[in-house]
Structure 1
Amino acid sequence: MQGWTTDDMPRLDGTTVVVTGANSGLGYEGTLAFAEKGATVVMACRSVDRGERAADDIRRESDLDESDMDLDVRECDLASLDSVREFAEGLAADYDAVDILCNNAGVMAIPRSETEDGFETQFGVNHLGHFALTGQLFPLLEAAEGVNGAARVVTQSSGAHEQGKMDFSDLNWEQSYGKWKAYGRSKLANLLFAYELQRRINDAGASGEDGGENDGLSLRSVACHPGYAATNLQHRTAEESGNPLMKVGMKAANAVLGQDAATGALPMLYAATADVDGGAYIEPGGFMNMRGTPTVGRSNDASYDRGDAQMLWEYSEEATGVEFPI
């Protein structure tokens, strides 16, 4: 995969891709790349207006004729389980299958707040919203032919997962709150979910070998992180902090350390379209895995803790009311 770029992506004609947070940053660049390869891209956005503006920008930016790009902007607010459910129901009514689901949207290091359903926002949006979305789209993923032999669930994490620690006595930070600690936990939760999903897919396939309902299940769960990509995420974090020094620091860090969003999107695109194993972790292969083109790496030991993964799964099912059919 040395030097892998969007030029190495296969054609995606006839496939359906769902990208959360598609209106900016990594989601925007991923949507552009998928659409230019011929996919129908469902842009799952909290704001339909911002999503439509982004879709217009993508059409103008692409070398393709506007009529050759199939972009479907739909509302999906990951901070609302009702919104996630309505999005999934609408998709099931209009599409027969989803070949690729990119769990990309997220919030980073914001002051403590709660989602519509009472969850701490970083944990609720970054993990629980995507958990619920994946579970409710699972029948469409099962029905897909996929890419390179399998449909994909791609979950975007971060190098910040290494600072995350699971505390099942206070998952929603009601006893104490540190915005960066909460972000790290949410990104660790992304990985625990991605790897546990693949284990359950493997177990379902094994149990279906004798003709059970999951016989022939062709689906892969893959995790990724973008490295240090200069996107709106840092700007939003600085704005919500209310700290002028953070604004200056984030701007300087983006300029010195950051790679552009198009390069930051490559691990997600590789995870979604290349021939990678389920349970893989795709990251930049350059300096400190913060820059460069994609490579298969390894996340920290805590992300592979099966006990924590099972506890998180059980909590997530109870919290969201969403159960996976595997």
Structure 2
Amino acid sequence: MWWLLPCILGFVRLYLDGVKVLLYQLFNRSFILPDLPKQNGKVAIVTGGARGMGYEISRHLASLDMHVVIAGNEEHEGLAAVKKIREELNQGKAGIMLVPERRTEDGFELHFGLNYLGHFLLTNLLLDVLKKSGKPGKCSRIVIMSSATHYGGRLTLDDLQGRMCYSAHGAYAQSKLALLLFSYHLQDQLWVRGDPVTVNAVDPGMVDTALYDNLSSPAQLAKKPFAKLLFRTPAEGASTAIYAAAASELKGIGGLYLYNGRKTESSALSYDQQLQTKLWKESCALVGLQ
């Protein structure tokens, strides 16, 4: 029975984190975006930009005169989002959560592969372009979408794919912790080399999107009466990511974890530089990067 313990702990940690977030959202207003400067044709790539918070980020950045590239798994959804955004402007995050055990085409556990490893690879493939595009005082910006669930996350380097004991709750929390470890380590590397690129991670809070469709039936029933009252809307959830991508006061500032528009301390584990380095090396090996 000992092998069940990590699964149970992952379940408990995730829902405790969720309760803390809901209590915060009950007594605190959602972050309201300030007026942001026009971006004058700068390029933004928004993963998962066709739905939910990703769509709201794409729409808002496009309204700031950014050239927005929507990256996702379904071409028809992306095209529909582009059409809708264009119509709205003329008139005036890719991720998954709590899915049953599944693998990507490359054999990675789905949460780890889609939420973390895909973004790790995409960011690294774009780094040279980002470095060339930025300059002192006008850095390129990388915004990583994490979550408060990272506080309960644990990283098992010898079982990142969850083969020994799979827990959807633990796998999701691990993927969000991995994103923070990655963002801090990447920013440190960029600073050491003097590259004009900043990396910040954001927590959107608990947002009423399709991510919760994979909750168990009892959890779905428990969520419904609270969703409208306590959950953020997709537009509210997107606001901190938009702020990180476009706010003038964040020029040249990186290595932050932002929640509700404010700098926040992430978990002690996320600042573990030895763990950051080990994860980076293991991730490079998994995706075939030097």
- Going from structure 1 to structure 2, the CA distance change for 1:281 and 1:313 (only over 3 Å counts) comes to same
| Unaligned stretches of 5+ residues in structure 2 | 1-28
The structure 2 residue matched to 1:227, chosen from 205, 213, 221, is 205
Structure 1 residue 303, shift from structure 2 partner? 0.7
The structure 1 residue matched to 2:47, chosen from 17, 20, 37, is 20
Give 1:266's aligned residue: 239
Give 1:37's aligned residue: 64
The structure 1 residue matched to 2:108, chosen from 115, 119, 126, is 119
Higher relative CO (Cα under 8 Å, sequence separation at least 6) belongs to: 2
TM score, norm. by length of structure 2: 0.84
Q: How far apart, in 1, do the equivalents of 2:136 and 2:31 lie?
A: 17
The structure in which a higher percent of residues are helix is 2
Give 2:218's aligned residue: 245
Amino acid of the structure 1 residue aligned with 2:119: H
Give 2:254's aligned residue: 278
Aligned length: 259
- Going from structure 1 to structure 2, the CA distance change for 1:22 and 1:3 (only over 3 Å counts) comes to closer
Give 1:87's aligned residue: none
- Going from structure 1 to structure 2, the CA distance change for 1:272 and 1:3 (only over 3 Å counts) comes to same
Work out whether residues 147 and 273 of structure 1, in 8 Å CA contact, stay in contact via their aligned partners in 2. Answer: no
Q: RMSD of the TM alignment (CA)?
A: 1.9
Aligned: 1:59 with 2:86: yes
Amino acid of the structure 1 residue aligned with 2:200: V
Give 1:46's aligned residue: 73
Work out whether residues 196 and 309 of structure 1, in 8 Å CA contact, stay in contact via their aligned partners in 2. Answer: yes
The structure 2 residue matched to 1:218, chosen from 193, 196, 211, is 196
Structure 2 residue matching 1:265: 3-state secondary structure: helix
Structure 1 residue matching 2:156: 3-state secondary structure: coil
Amino acid of the structure 2 residue aligned with 1:163: G
Work out whether residues 148 and 205 of structure 2, in 8 Å CA contact, stay in contact via their aligned partners in 1. Answer: yes
Note the alpha carbon deviations across 1:21-42, whole angstroms, 9 max, x for none. 0011110000000000101100
Amino acid of the structure 2 residue aligned with 1:230: D
Give 1:162's aligned residue: 151
Work out whether residues 136 and 196 of structure 2, in 8 Å CA contact, stay in contact via their aligned partners in 1. Answer: no
Aligned: 1:172 with 2:161: yes
Aligned: 1:9 with 2:22: no
Structure 1 residue 64, shift from structure 2 partner? 4.8
Note the alpha carbon deviations across 1:77-119, whole angstroms, 9 max, x for none. xxxxxxxxxxxxxxxxxxxxxxxxxxx2111111111111111
The structure 2 residue matched to 1:196, chosen from 185, 190, 207, is 185
Note the alpha carbon deviations across 1:133-175, whole angstroms, 9 max, x for none. 0010111111213796210111000000011001111110000
Structure 2 residue matching 1:279: 3-state secondary structure: coil
Q: How far apart, in 2, do the equivalents of 1:52 and 1:260 lie?
A: 23
The structure 2 residue matched to 1:134, chosen from 112, 123, 141, is 123
Work out whether residues 142 and 218 of structure 1, in 8 Å CA contact, stay in contact via their aligned partners in 2. Answer: yes
Structure 2 residue matching 1:230: 3-state secondary structure: coil
Give 1:105's aligned residue: 94
Structure 1 residue 60, shift from structure 2 partner? 2.8
Structure 1 residue matching 2:158: 3-state secondary structure: coil
- Going from structure 1 to structure 2, the CA distance change for 1:167 and 1:4 (only over 3 Å counts) comes to closer
